[in-house]
Copies of this chain bind each other. A is one copy, B any other.
């Protein structure tokens, strides 16, 4: 089992404490799985209290032993339930907290009300913006985890090309992709931060399935095979000369890579083929032009402008009511990390950010074509993490 290095945890805690101090907070409670893993290295059932200075306290409900083995945090305590945090906090000089941070974007109301009752005098402040911003800048260790996930995806795309046959259902291909990834070490689930945001590990959409509008903030989504999970692979079958769209995710040590490739058995219709080339052109242009310091929104504008010049404005990132206004998103421990390459996001691209860029084109009744690749921002520009070639994948 590979643990998060001590130096990573210490550096993250230090930055987080600096942020807490800048917001005049006495400290923060960290309860959400992913934030907990990020700041402690363990995802056992626990509550982490990070004071604005001094040592963080990791209070573990289950499993104490595993948390102790996994976490670099030194002050680890076993508690029977969340009530157990009160004497520990008091015993460490945190009995009189005033302004305290919580992950209000995800913390369930019942837990919020519990804390409100137990700490009647504290001000509750949302730490999610801070913690999410902190996570946008990845260390070389983190980039390496994402690259390992990327390598599994690359292998998966190589292998799936050999397995797809005419008439195969999207569901079969989806199953095979999971099988290939899991064998190589995929951690088994994907994670999004947003509430009610669920996802399967891949969206395999053949032909017209790719043009079905879905509930998420995604270009595609697909019908799924039931209204109870209305996205991803369904009963659609692979046909000749139709796009087979595969948006595929894998996680290694918590870090996700997220890629899309378009495959075809035979030839794409002319407009779809040209739109696919436009996706490539958009990525090539952004790869050449993007530098640290330019606003995130600029990437969307640039991509949109290339789509428009090539005559695909109405298909770009969805069609009609299914259109979404972004062309990329941060990736890391969650698939919906910051930044977002969308209008209004004026914050600049910074060295150390890792994100997916995904110019895609939807054609009603015909499907979706496009490419998604992962990039990291270096001091000079952006560097593609994906190894797979960006050409349309032709299946014989």
Contact = CB atoms under 8 A, between A and B. Distances in A.
Interface stretch (A106-114, A261-269, A278-286, A308-316): A106-114
B171 A180 contact: no
A280 to B, nearest CB: 29
Contacts of A196: 31-33, 45
A161 interface: no
B254 A42 contact: no
A312 to B, nearest CB: 22
Interface string A213-242: 111100000011111111011110000000
A234 B187 CA distance: 9
Given A63-B213, A66-B215, A172 B178 contact: no
Nearest to A234: B1
B254 A226 contact: yes
A169 B185 CA distance: 10
A37 interface: yes
A322 B62 CA distance: 9
A104 interface: yes
A368 to B, nearest CB: 15
A175 interface: yes
Interface residues of A, number: 81
A79 interface: no
Copies of the chain in the assembly: 2
A182 B175 contact: yes
B43 A215 contact: yes
Contacts of A200: 188-189
A286 to B, nearest CB: 27
Contact of A230 (B2, B44, B174, B182): B44
Nearest to A105: B110
A227 B179 CA distance: 21
A10 to B, nearest CB: 17
A180 B333 CA distance: 28
A230 B253 CA distance: 10
B66 A187 contact: no
Q: Indicate the member of A62, A70, A200 with the most B CB atoms within 10 Å.
A: A62
A187 B201 CA distance: 12
A33 B227 contact: no
Q: Indicate the member of A169, A188, A213, A234 with the most B CB atoms within 10 Å.
A: A188
A210 B149 CA distance: 26
Contacts of A199: 189
Contacts of A195: 106, 108, 111
Contact of A182 (B1, B42, B223, B233): B233
A174 B182 contact: yes
Nearest to A36: B196
A255 B226 CA distance: 11
Contacts of A2: 226-227
Interface string A245-284: 0000001111100000000000000000000000000000
Given A112-B112, A188-B174, A227 B106 contact: no
A79 to B, nearest CB: 13
A176 interface: yes
Contacts of A253: 226-228
A183 interface: yes
Q: Which 7 A-B pairs have the closest CB atoms?
A: A228-B254, A175-B182, A175-B179, A188-B200, A187-B229, A109-B112, A45-B215
23 contacts: A1-B223, A1-B234, A31-B196, A33-B196, A37-B228, A43-B227, A62-B216, A63-B321, A64-B321, A66-B214, A66-B215, A102-B109, A104-B108, A107-B108, A108-B195, A109-B112, A172-B183, A174-B188, A175-B183, A187-B226, A188-B229, A189-B199, A189-B229
